[in-house]
């Protein structure tokens, strides 16, 4: 089941996946920033006649301006995509997974969850704690919850958010394939937190272990 706003690109992806892997793809056009869009997808996730074995909360949303300079409607839209939608879809899919005694919940977080980079970090911090809490609550049920925390990944995210990829050192970039492969290995291994690549494993360990005043200072310098 593929969910996004662009029907043409969804149809193209569905056809490509069908031709390559001989799978059936269900396309759902929805904007997860809206209540109607999120509710529509949640209803599908809760359909136990067509159960979902793996839910990947991967919808992205980025804002390049500071909080006080961003229209509040845009901030609310980001919160809907990064917090409300994962909560809603997870709740819906979990009801089916628990009945079946198996399933995987995969939440795409970020190493930004452990620094202080505006409301994006705040949303990813919520998602990280949410996923970790589910992992504890679901222990022994056959259903797992994993939060994936990559750094900079070469996708359309930065372009759509109006950011400048050239401002980021080359060594900090990861390929989407590497992130997906490592994440899936960790999901199948039952890991609670997946941090793809050695460089981000080191960075995440540092950010989680360093004193918070130092993290705030470093985050402030990076955001300038």
CATH of the domain at 70: 3.40.50.720
The answer to whether position 101 is within a domain reads: yes
Count structural domains, the chain. 1
Distance between first and last Cα of the chain: 40
The answer to whether position 28 is within a domain reads: no
The answer to whether position 184 is within a domain reads: yes
The pTM score is 0.87
DSSP state of 56: E
The answer to whether position 136 is within a domain reads: yes
The answer to whether position 31 is within a domain reads: no
The answer to whether position 117 is within a domain reads: yes
Cβ–Cβ contacts within 10 Å for residue 182, how many? Answer: 17
Q: Which of 31-35, 57-61, 62-66, 201-205 has the highest mean pLDDT?
A: 31-35
Range of the domain at 71: 52-223
Local confidence band at 214 (pLDDT 50, 70, 90 cut-offs): confident
Amino acid 30: pLDDT: 97
Amino acid 169: pLDDT: 67
pLDDT over threshold 70, residue 59: yes
Give the catalytic positions in this structure.
Answer: 120
């Amino acid at each position: 089941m593929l969910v996004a706003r662009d029907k043409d690109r969804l149809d193209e992806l569905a056809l490509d996946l069908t031709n390559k892997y001989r799978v059936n793809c269900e396309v759902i056009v929805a904007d997860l920033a809206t209540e109607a869009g999120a509710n529509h997808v949640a209803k599908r996730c809760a359909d136990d006649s067509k159960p979902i074995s793996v839910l990947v909360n991967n919808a992205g949303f980025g804002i390049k301006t500071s909080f006080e300079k961003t229209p509040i409607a845009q901030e609310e839209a980001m919160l809907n995509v990064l917090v409300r939608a994962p909560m809603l879809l997870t709740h819906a899919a979990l009801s089916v997974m628990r009945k079946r005694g198996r399933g995987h919940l995969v939440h795409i977080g970020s190493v930004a969850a452990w620094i202080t980079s505006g409301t994006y970090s705040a949303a990813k911090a919520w998602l990280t704690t949410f996923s970790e809490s589910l992992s504890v609550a679901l222990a022994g049920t056959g259903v797992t919850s994993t939060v994936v925390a990559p750094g900079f990944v070469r996708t359309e995210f930065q372009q759509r958010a109006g950011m400048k990829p050239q401002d980021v050192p080359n060594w900090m970039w990861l390929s989407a394939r590497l992130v997906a492969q490592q994440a899936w290995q960790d999901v199948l291994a039952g890991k609670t937190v997946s941090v793809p690549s050695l460089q981000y494993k080191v960075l995440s360990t540092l950010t989680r272990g360093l004193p918070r005043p130092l993290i705030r200072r470093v985050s402030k310098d990076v955001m300038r």
